[in-house]
Structure formats: structure tokens, C-alpha cells
Structure 1
Amino acid sequence: MPSPSEFYRQTFQEQTSLAEKYTQRYERLALVRLVVFIGWLAAVIVLITTNFFWGLGFLILTVPVLVWGVRHHLALRRAGEDASILAGLADGESRALNHDFGHFEDGKAFLNSAHPYALDLDIFGRHSLFQYVNRTVTAPGQARLAEHLLSGLTEEGRARTQVQGKVLGDMPDWCLRFRTIGHELNDDIRHFERLLTWLDRPAVVSGRWESLALLLAPFLSLASLVYMLFVGPWYVGALGLVPAILMLRKYKEIIPREHAYTAEMGTLLSRYAALLEHISTLPGEQRVGEGVSPALRTLSYRISQLDVRYNPFVMLLELGGLWSLQWLRKLDVWRAEYREELPRWLDTLAETDALVSWATLRHNHPGWTDAEWTEDPIFEARSLGHPLLSPAGRVTNDLSMRTDGHIHLVTGSNMAGKSTWLRTVGINIVLANAGAPTCSLHLRLRPLQVWTSMRTQDDLSESTSSFYAELKRLKAIIGAVSDPDQQVFFLLDEILKGTNSRDRHTGSRALIRQLIRERGAGIIATHDLELAALENEPGSRVENYAMEVQTDGDQLTFDYKLHPGVCQSFNATALMARMGIDIPEEEIRLRHD
């Protein structure tokens, strides 16, 4: 198999060439189609004026051929459009391999600042993990992918996602074709939710009298029209419209209310059917049952016919045959037959849509590895890197610690990479919990629930200061750590930074000791070097690590590597001096001494 970059480059070139070929053929045939139609119309006129039956026979024989030709011509246009879309998708993946992924949906609507880690770990929003991973084409699939990132999966779910992700990861052309079918679907989760609500609603037309009225309405309306036109008087013939008028009056509020549950889903369901038909080509357990696509296309068609209510001339159809009620009745029949199956089909679609994103991640990063799960309270990683950093500048580190009441205390100067290291660890746990590959050469851990406190902010709507917001966050983390049903791994950056240095140090020591007593585990980044003394206490479960910076005059050199011990370098004064703050030389020397 070619490398990801080579695969996408070849796909882009092949599909661009196909798109050009189909477009040229379509444009050439457009002229032929016009000439043929003019000739056909002339022949029809001549034959009918010469001999009506010859003209009629000519029409019967040639109309199917013309319809076939038009369909073939339109198929060329669709093929060209699909090839162009596929080429664009391949080009987008080539850009993503070069760490340009801003053209993908960022999922900011899923962001909840109260979530245990979503805000601090950049799960959603611009340049987020969701944007990096997301290749979904449906609203349900996008919601499912967000759910994977927010909640993780069960042990069974992780194993299934890994196995199926590997299968699809070796089928990048299948994934691109899936995304081509769903391209520009303009889906909306609200339509999806209304459709599921519609499934549980009772039948609209169920009474005997109503059923009889639906059956007779078209015939009565036709008879009334004939009577008014050819027999008269018109007001006598209009009596045949009375049943339809009474039915419309009875259901005048019910029809729009029922239509609201399915409005705008006709076209979407047609595309859903095409996606499920494509899913049915997968091997093994991922196959969709027979008849799914036709059933969904039938539902799509019936909903689209109900959408005719938006036509300004719909009243003629309503009086002529109770149009809306006729299609609501047909929708009742469909709902009764497929009430149990539809949620399962849509769940398969959403799960596969999310799976395409994970499979694409695997294909694009063959060097990433799956987490190895264990019941032992350990966290081991080799060459752990942050996936949102460009591979060219990404610095990796190793990690080895117990997760039953142990803490890594990371000290370091400003900009040394402490916060990035915390996010690196957290975001890879999130990937592992979702059954996705991790940005590492090796990762072994037990299932962990991540909690973070890194970006606490004040809230004017609640009159909450940033310090109080942080205290609330820490209280939530303590509660999670104290829960025996959770295995919490916390990531804390500069705890209690909103108060004075003495209170901060006292509170930080107390918090660390409490978290250890509760058997919590995690990493704490801090500038408070005095906290490093906790490592030397009897029975200590604190280990010191540092991220250093080298200074040469006003030049700073960062290696972003994790080293055992306590930070020995400082750069705050150097940075302030570079920003124009006049600091006496003796203060700088004293600080470095």
C-alpha cells in the first residue's frame, strides 16, 4: 500500500482527470441532446399531422429512448461532480498531513466549559482535537464522534472501534467514497431528533370514517368537477367537496403539527439511504440488513410529497384528494412497519460515520499505536507527543508512574513546556479511551477518567472571581477522586494562582496530600519550587520532574524535555527585560545565583 501522502496525491490526480473528462463529455453531449430533441420534435409534428397513429406509435417507441438518453447525460454530470468532490477531499487530506486542518468542522457547539477536561485539553474549537480528527458527514455522526471524545467508550466499545478502525484504515478509498456521498449534506441534528420523536407518535388517520373519506375523496372531487363543468348547476356539484372540506377543517391544526416532525428530512433521508447502501458493502458484522436503502428511499419520497404543502397551489390538491392526509396515512403505514428498525439503521449510520474519522486518523498516522490496557495501576508511555503540534516541531517525552496515589510534580520556567506536557498526557488518554490510536510509540495504562484545572476563568454572570472558580473546580476534582467508582487522573496547572504566595503554598501542600490520601494520581505543574520538598517526606508518593531552559545573554533555548529533579533555570526576568522592563543588573544576577 502506498504511503498516505502518495495515496492522496494519486487520488487527487486521478479524480481531477476523471472530472475533466466527464465534464467535457457532458458539454459535448449537451449540444447533441439539443439537436436530437429539435429533430425529434420536428418528426413528431410531421408524423402526427400526416398520420395520427404513426405519430402516436413514434412517440411510444422513442420517448423511453429519450428518457434513457437524458438520464445518461445527467449521470455524466453527477459522475463529474463526484470525481471533483473526491479530488477535493484527497487534497484536503494532503493538507491535513502537512498539519493544515483548519478546513474541517471544529465542533465548537459541543464545548461545555464545565466538562472535566474539554476546555483545557482543546477538544473542541479552532485548532482542536475534534477538528483534527473530524471527517463526519452527518449530524448524528458528528454528535457520536463528540460523544467518543467527551465520554470515552466501554472496554467492549474500545476493542470494537480498534478492530473496525483498522479494517477501514486499510480502505481509505472506501472512506473517501463514503464522504463523497455525504458531501455538503447540510445536516442538522434537530431534524434527526424530530424524526426519532415522530417514530413514537400515534397514527394520524385511524378511524373508519376518516379512512373511508380518504378513499372516496378523489372520486367525489372528480365527480363534482365533471358535474359543475358539464351538468350544472355548479353549487349542486360543489356538494361533492363537502367531505374533503370537513376533513380539512378537522385536521387543520394536526396536519402542520405532524408535518413539523418530518419537514426537511426528505432529501436528507435519501442521502442517508445512499450512505447505508455504501455501508452494506463492508464485510462482516458491519453489513446493513437487506431492504434498508429501499425502505429509507420510500420514507424519503413520502416525506417529500408531504412537503408539497409549501406549494402555493396545494389547496387544489387538498380539495381534489386530501393530499396531505393521504401522505400522512402512508407515513403512518411506514412508521408502523419500521418503528423498531429505523433507530437501529440511524445508529449504524452514526457509528460508521464516526468510525470513518478514526479510520482516517489511523491511515494518516501509521506510526501511532493503540493503548495497551491493564488492570495494574500504572501509566507507561514512550515517545508521547501532542497530536496537535506539527510533527516537524513535535518533542516527545517518556512517562512512567503509578496511578494509585502518586503524583508527578513538574517545575520549570515560563514557556518551558509544562502546560503542553500536561495537555499531551491528557489528550492521549482521551484518544485511548475513544479506542483511537495514540501519538506515541507505546502506551500502557488502566482505564482513567481525566480531570483538569488549567484555564479557570472568572464568570461575571455569576459574580465569580477566577480564584473562586478555581476552588470550585478543585472541589469537583476532589469529589471525583473520592468516588470509589472512578479512576481519576488529574492535570493541574499552577494551582491556587489567584492568591498570595504564602496561602498558595500552604493550600497547594494540603491539596496534594489530600489527593494522595484519596489514592488519586496525576501531574501538577508549578512554579512553586518549595513544593518539591514533598518528595523527601517519609513515604512520599511525589516525584519531581523539571523542564529546563538554557539562557545565553538575552537568548533563550528550550528543549521541552522532561528531566528528573527540580528546575534549576529561570527566565522570567530575562523575558521581562526583553519586553522593555528596566530590571537592575544586580537583581538579575541575584535571581540567577
Structure 2
Amino acid sequence: MTLEPHAELARRLDDRRARVARLDRADAWVARGRLAVFLAALAVAALAWGARALSAWWLLAPAVAFAVLAVRHDRVFRAREQARRAVAFHEAALARIDGRFAGRGVSGERFADPGHPYAADLDLFGAGGLFELLCAARTGPGEERLAAWLLAPAAADVVRARQRAVAALAPRLDLREDLAVLGDDVRAGVDAATLAAWGTGRGGLPPHVVPIALVLAGAGVAALWGWLAGHGALPLVAVLLLAWGFRRTVQAPVARVLGALGRPAAELQVLALLLARLEREPLDEPRLAELQARLRAPAPASTRIATLVRIAMRIEWAHNQLFAPVAFLLQWTPLHAALVERWRSANGAAVAGWLDAVAELEALSSLAGHAYEQAGTTFPEVLDLGPDRGASIAGEALRHPLLRAAVPNDVTLGGAGPRVLLVSGSNMSGKSTYLRTIGVNVVLALAGAKVHAARLALTPVHAGATLRIQDSLQAGKSRFYAEITRLKELADLAAGPFPLLFLLDEILHGTNSHDRRIGAEAIVRGLLDRGAIGLVTTHDLALTELAGAGAVLANAHFEDQVRDGEIAFDYRLRPGVVQHSNALALMRAVGLRV
């Protein structure tokens, strides 16, 4: 019997915490065992060299035991770190379900753009934002892909393909936990641009390096053997001088190759952990299977990366003081530089494709985690735009995903409903939250995620909002100027590939009522002429007259009730125009004499 998400995550959390406790105890026992073996070694040494009661060969026993315990200790340490990461993974998932996720995950602030038409207005990034609720990516490319999906709508067929992939990944809790266990090392290491550029670049190693290095290495081994056999040191000295001269001539190109290897090798090493796990997962859904095939063909990406990592590790041997003379004699560094170039020639062009596939799978996995964890969510129906179907949104019981006690409301724009909804209402009644609720669910829908609604059907639209327009002292712009600048940007956006969904909060409230009435009507009519749909909130009841008698614009409102001097809100959208204001009551409630 499958448990509901909260219960299943809580069960797994208890299990992982118990595993951490067991490994803590194992760590303590192994540490005590190593101490005991060390003391035993001291005792054996005293008996062997002090009392002359034992042979020194008896020291091999504690030495072997100590080595075995050291290996065991390392395994326990690694297993405990993985278990602790698993604990953190399940704790974070439960925090998202319970609404306690703010500040615990990746805020995505590096993707925040003040000039974006809706990112700041809809709280996409920052602590407690939508990105933090969604993101479970373990690499930078995965985070970037998820952010890109939230920042721009996709076509209907693309969204539907993402939905199918997300639905297939949603129940795969084991996969998401395993990717999280790989953990922070992967996220910290992978730089997509650096890796892709390195993969397609060339170090310029001259073609004569390999044959000359092989000849010198063979000659060096033969000369060394001859010297050891008593045939004189002159041949060996001659070979060493030739090797020194050769190394001087190829020093610059070899340094270019190996100098460019350092960071990519480390990044690819941690990326290989993630790739290996993704390659093992049985994925039958067509989009996921295609992405996985890109990681497996013609050979598994993780295997090919492991080859490069082994080369990089062997190159480091040349820096060991004991091995350095041997490495010099064998032309170790030039030959391994050639191996790096050969690897890059065979596999470098595929690096960008691996990163792209990983980014896609991680973004889909993040949306899958959201689909699994968030109760009361559903996949929206995404409709194709066409000559007979303009922009439309129809939803029932929409809730804001970032609010724990969100009140559900419906929305109908376009299609059989009005293309513009004029929302009036008193202060704090829920007008701005209603706009954000619609906007953030549209963003989720067109990224391929589940939405927080009982039902939602929509065509692709590009959102644009004026919910967080502010003045700028540094730029010398007033709030009104910043607003009309954004409105011009939205008008231009309405001419783009997708119809505009405009979310205009307190439109033109920085000017007088006469100019506001004329300006607001002109702006809304102009947006409608470009095929847009949207919502406009206002305190100015004169603007509600824009609806007139036609069916294109309609009025709706939020209201409140004052009981015994206290203002109560139900945050329910109602048809028509609000009939009263609570401004005076609010002023009196805070102690102003009005």
C-alpha cells in the first residue's frame, strides 16, 4: 500500500535518521578499534625491539589490521555523509509541504532581473519564492534550465510533452533522493559554459610529441636497464639530457593542455556521479528516454568521463617526489597530455550535449517533486492557439502556491468570458493577491508543472505585471514614470509570439482621476486591440465604468465587513462593483482621528 506523500516522506526521514545513528555508532567503534590496533602495534614494537621477545615481522599483523580499519572507517564516513544528505532531502521536502521552506533551499536570486515583465511581481526568486519551492536541481545548468522555464512561456506542444515527463518522474522518489545524496559537491562544481568551451577547444599539442616521447621513454628504460646490468651510465646520461631538451621544447603546449584540464576534470568528476545515476534509471516515457539515450550513446557518458578522470589522476602522480624521477624518464607528462587531447578529440563535442540533457532532466525532476509533494494540484489543459481560438484562461479554485491559508477563487478570461476583468475592492481585501495567484499559476502551467487549482485550461500567454513597480532615486524615476514605462513594455510584448496576459495593479494611481480615467481606458483598449487579456485592479470606482454594456470587459470585486470596529475579510471574488470602502475604518483602527 502506497502512503500519501507526507507520511511516506516522514517514514523515510525516520529511517535515514536511524541510519545516521547506526553509522555514528559504527564510526565510534571503528575509531576505538584503530586506537586499540595502534596501541597493540606499540606493544609489539616494544617486545620486538626492546625485549627482543618477538620478531619484527609480527608488526605486519597490526599494520594490516590498521589499514583494513582505515578503509572501513572511510566507508563509514562516506555512508554517514550520504545518510545525512538524505535526512536533509526529506526534511526539505516536508518543509515544502508544510510551508516552512523559505530560506532552506536555493532562492535563485542570481536569476532575478528587475526589468523582467513579471519575475519580481510574482515572487519567482528570493527567499520563499516560487523557484525555492520548486528547485531540486543539483547542478548549475539544471537550475538555469528551471529558471528559464519560469521566465518564459512555452508552446502548447512543448508544455504537454513536459507534463508527460513530469508525470512519469513524479512517483520516482528513490531517484530524486539519490540525486540529492550526490549533493552539494555537484552543484558547486559544474560550470556549463566553462565545460562546453573546454570540450570544443584545442590545446595545440604538436603531432611529433607522441612519437618522440615514446622513443625517449623506450630508450630511457633500456638505458636504465643497461646501467643496472653494469654496462655503464653514459647511455643513461645521454638519454636524460635528450629528455630534458625535449621537455624544454614541448613545455609550453603541454602546459596549455594540462593547465586547461584542471577545473574541467574536477567538474566532470562530480558530474559523472549524477550521470551514472541517471543512466541506470529505467525511463520509458518518450521524452525522458530520448534524453537518457543522449547520455548512453555511443557509450555511457559516465564511463567516458571516468576515463578522463583516471588520466587526470595519473598526471598528478608526476608531482609525487618518489615517482617524479620515473615520470621524467618515461615521458609521463607529455604522453598523458596527448591522452587528454585524444579524449577531448573523441568526446569533447559531446560535453555540451551531456550538460543539456542533465539540465533538462533536473528541471523536469524539480517539477516532478512539486507534483508529488503538493496536494490539491493538477495538470492544466493547455490549448493550442489558432484562428478560431484566441488567448483564454478558465480556472476553478485557484490558490496561491506560496500561501498556506490561500482562499480559492475562479477566473475566466477570453473564450466565453470577458477578456478583461476590472477588480475593485477595499484595502487589504485580496485584489493584488488574486492577480498574483492567477499569474503564478499561469507561470507554473506554461513551465510544465502542476498548478494549484481544481481545474485550469489555458492557451499559451506571456504574462506581464505592474504589481511591484517602484520609484528609483538613483535613476531619477518616479513611481508613475516607472509604471508607464512598464506599460509601454507590455504593449510591445503584446505584439510578440504569444498573446499578453496583463496584470495591472492600481493602474495609474499616481496621477489625477481625470487623467487616470482617460489613460487607463486608452491603455486597456490598446492592449485588447493587440489580442491581450488581463485583469486591472483599482480603488477608483470611476474606472469600473469602463466595462460599460459590452461583454469584453466585466467588473468583479472583493469586499469586507466591519463588526464591532474590527474589519473582516473573506477574500472571495464576487461579480459587480464594490459598494463601499474601508479606508476610513482602517485609519480609525490604527488611531487616526478622521
Give TM-score scaled by structure 1 length.
0.85
One-letter amino acid of the structure 1 residue matched with residue 570 of structure 2: D
Structure 1, 33-42 or 102-111: larger mean CA deviation: 33-42
CA–CA separation in structure 2 for the residues paired with 1:147 and 1:276:
22
One-letter amino acid of the structure 1 residue matched with residue 272 of structure 2: A
How many angstroms does 1:216 deviate by?
A: 4.6
How many angstroms does 1:6 deviate by?
A: 0.9
CA–CA separation in structure 2 for the residues paired with 1:124 and 1:310:
45
Contact 2:435-2:503 within 8 A present in 1 as well: yes
| Counterpart residue number, 2:85 | 85
CA change 1:239–1:267 in 2 (3 A) is closer
How many angstroms does 1:203 deviate by?
A: 4.5
Does residue 471 of structure 2 align to residue 458 of structure 1? Answer: yes
CA change 1:547–1:322 in 2 (3 A) is farther
CA change 1:307–1:499 in 2 (3 A) is farther
Q: How does 1:103-182 map to 2 (within 5 A)?
A: 103-182=104-183
How many angstroms does 1:555 deviate by?
A: 1.3
Spell out, residue by residue over 1:362-382, the C-alpha distance to the aligned partner (whole angstroms, 9 max, x if none): 111242000112234431111
Contact 2:418-2:554 within 8 A present in 1 as well: no
CA change 1:304–1:482 in 2 (3 A) is same
One-letter amino acid of the structure 2 residue matched with residue 275 of structure 1: L
CA–CA separation in structure 2 for the residues paired with 1:311 and 1:419:
65
Contact 1:318-1:324 within 8 A present in 2 as well: yes
CA–CA separation in structure 1 for the residues paired with 2:258 and 2:533:
53
How many angstroms does 1:533 deviate by?
A: 1.1
Contact 1:205-1:329 within 8 A present in 2 as well: yes
Question: SS at 1:339's partner residue?
Answer: helix
Contact 2:30-2:69 within 8 A present in 1 as well: no
CA change 1:6–1:232 in 2 (3 A) is same
| Counterpart residue number, 1:192 | 192
Contact 1:133-1:361 within 8 A present in 2 as well: yes
CA change 1:513–1:186 in 2 (3 A) is closer
Contact 1:220-1:240 within 8 A present in 2 as well: no
Q: How does 1:193-272 map to 2 (within 5 A)?
A: 193-208=193-208, 210-216=209-215, 218=217, 237=237, 240-241=240-241, 243-244=243-244, 247-248=247-248, 251-252=251-252, 254=253, 257-259=256-258, 261-272=260-271
CA–CA separation in structure 1 for the residues paired with 2:266 and 2:75:
18
CA–CA separation in structure 2 for the residues paired with 1:7 and 1:496:
50
| Counterpart residue number, 1:10 | 11
CA–CA separation in structure 1 for the residues paired with 2:35 and 2:237:
46
Contact 1:107-1:125 within 8 A present in 2 as well: yes
One-letter amino acid of the structure 1 residue matched with residue 77 of structure 2: R
CA-based RMSD of the aligned residues comes to 3.8
2:539 to 507, 527, 530: 527
Contact 2:398-2:454 within 8 A present in 1 as well: yes
1:387 to 401, 418, 425: 401
CA–CA separation in structure 2 for the residues paired with 1:316 and 1:577:
88
Structure 1, 16-25 or 309-318: larger mean CA deviation: 309-318
| Counterpart residue number, 1:589 | none
| Counterpart residue number, 1:441 | 454
Contact 2:27-2:77 within 8 A present in 1 as well: yes
One-letter amino acid of the structure 2 residue matched with residue 336 of structure 1: S
Structure 1, 162-171 or 127-136: larger mean CA deviation: 162-171
Structure 1, 296-305 or 222-231: larger mean CA deviation: 222-231
Structure 1, 462-471 or 366-375: larger mean CA deviation: 462-471
Contact 1:451-1:489 within 8 A present in 2 as well: yes
Question: SS at 1:546's partner residue?
Answer: strand
Give TM-score scaled by structure 2 length.
0.85
Q: How does 1:26-65 map to 2 (within 5 A)?
A: 26-33=27-34, 35=36
CA–CA separation in structure 1 for the residues paired with 2:318 and 2:192:
21
CA–CA separation in structure 2 for the residues paired with 1:204 and 1:309:
22
| Counterpart residue number, 1:328 | 337
2:311 to 286, 291, 302: 302
| Counterpart residue number, 2:441 | 428
CA–CA separation in structure 1 for the residues paired with 2:511 and 2:563:
33
Contact 1:546-1:564 within 8 A present in 2 as well: yes
| Counterpart residue number, 1:360 | 369
Spell out, residue by residue over 1:448-476, the C-alpha distance to the aligned partner (whole angstroms, 9 max, x if none): 11111222233455433332222221111
Unaligned runs of 5+ in 1: 584-593
Spell out, residue by residue over 1:227-265, the C-alpha distance to the aligned partner (whole angstroms, 9 max, x if none): 99999999x94883455455446543x555545544334
Question: SS at 1:482's partner residue?
Answer: coil
One-letter amino acid of the structure 2 residue matched with residue 337 of structure 1: A
How many angstroms does 1:66 deviate by?
A: 7.9
How many angstroms does 1:402 deviate by?
A: 0.8
Contact 2:378-2:452 within 8 A present in 1 as well: yes
How many angstroms does 1:309 deviate by?
A: 9.2
| Counterpart residue number, 2:499 | 487
Contact 2:422-2:536 within 8 A present in 1 as well: yes
Contact 2:205-2:254 within 8 A present in 1 as well: no
2:572 to 547, 552, 561: 561
Contact 1:138-1:182 within 8 A present in 2 as well: no
One-letter amino acid of the structure 1 residue matched with residue 198 of structure 2: W
CA change 1:176–1:242 in 2 (3 A) is same
One-letter amino acid of the structure 2 residue matched with residue 435 of structure 1: G
| Counterpart residue number, 1:291 | 300
Structure 1, 454-463 or 363-372: larger mean CA deviation: 454-463
CA–CA separation in structure 1 for the residues paired with 2:146 and 2:41:
54
One-letter amino acid of the structure 1 residue matched with residue 397 of structure 2: S
CA–CA separation in structure 1 for the residues paired with 2:500 and 2:520:
18
How many angstroms does 1:429 deviate by?
A: 0.6
CA–CA separation in structure 2 for the residues paired with 1:470 and 1:227:
86
2:522 to 502, 510, 514: 510
Contact 1:419-1:525 within 8 A present in 2 as well: yes
One-letter amino acid of the structure 1 residue matched with residue 515 of structure 2: D
| Counterpart residue number, 1:588 | none
| Counterpart residue number, 1:411 | 424
Structure 1, 103-112 or 539-548: larger mean CA deviation: 539-548
CA–CA separation in structure 1 for the residues paired with 2:488 and 2:259:
44
| Counterpart residue number, 2:548 | 536
CA–CA separation in structure 2 for the residues paired with 1:386 and 1:231:
86
How many angstroms does 1:65 deviate by?
A: 9.1
| Counterpart residue number, 1:95 | 95
One-letter amino acid of the structure 2 residue matched with residue 564 of structure 1: P
CA change 1:313–1:354 in 2 (3 A) is farther
CA change 1:582–1:188 in 2 (3 A) is farther
CA–CA separation in structure 2 for the residues paired with 1:17 and 1:510:
65
CA change 1:76–1:504 in 2 (3 A) is same
Number of aligned residue pairs = 571
CA–CA separation in structure 1 for the residues paired with 2:522 and 2:225:
92
